[in-house]
Copies of this chain bind each other. A is one copy, B any other.
Amino acid sequence: MKIIYLLTTGGTIEKVYSEQTGSVQNLDNKIDRYLSRLRLPDSEVRVLPLMNKDSLEMTYDDRAVILKTVRDLLADNAPIVITHGTDTMVETGLYLQRALVELKVPIILTRAMTPLGFEGSDGLQNLTESLFAARLLHPGIYVVIHNQVFPIDRVRKDHKLTRFVWMEKVS
């Protein structure tokens, strides 16, 4: 069995619809419920819920918590997937990259545009792809989403802030 760590931090992928407020919010962890729909006979996914925040509300203290957790887990030599909100995902990824040198495993950031369990959600697709990428990619930090792999220093949000695209090379 291959171990894969899955750190959850919130973002759209885990948002739920609250009947009390009539809005979507980061209230409860729900990755586990959807993870159980995947068949992973040779993978042991260990879920660690770190926080449950809209990524616009994520602070550098929060990022320090993520970094510390990642550092501790690296001793196990197992790949790490991190679910994260879109708006500051690249920021968190670059922060990890600056702090972590000589990685021996891949670290994969992923997210969703529509929450898990809502019509048309891309959450389970991205989770499936990220867990698969965790077993295939070389050491490094990546964003994995929608059948694409972006090294963290090659990705940026597009103008409308809803998608990730390749960063144009500056010559």
Contacts and interface: CB of A to CB of B under 8 A. Distances in A.
A31 B129 CA distance: 19
Interface string A146-162: 11110000000000101
A38 B125 contact: yes
A124 B22 CA distance: 18
A36 to B, nearest CB: 10
Interface residues of A, number: 41
A147 B131 contact: yes
A136 B119 contact: no
Nearest to A45: B147
A24 B114 CA distance: 11
B132 A41 contact: no
Contact of A39 (B16, B40, B122, B135): B122
A72 to B, nearest CB: 24
Contact of A19 (B43, B149, B162): B162
A74 interface: no
Contact of A128 (B42, B128, B162): B128
A147 B163 contact: no
A137 interface: yes
13 contacts: A12-B22, A17-B114, A17-B118, A22-B24, A24-B24, A39-B122, A41-B163, A42-B148, A116-B119, A124-B124, A125-B128, A132-B132, A132-B147
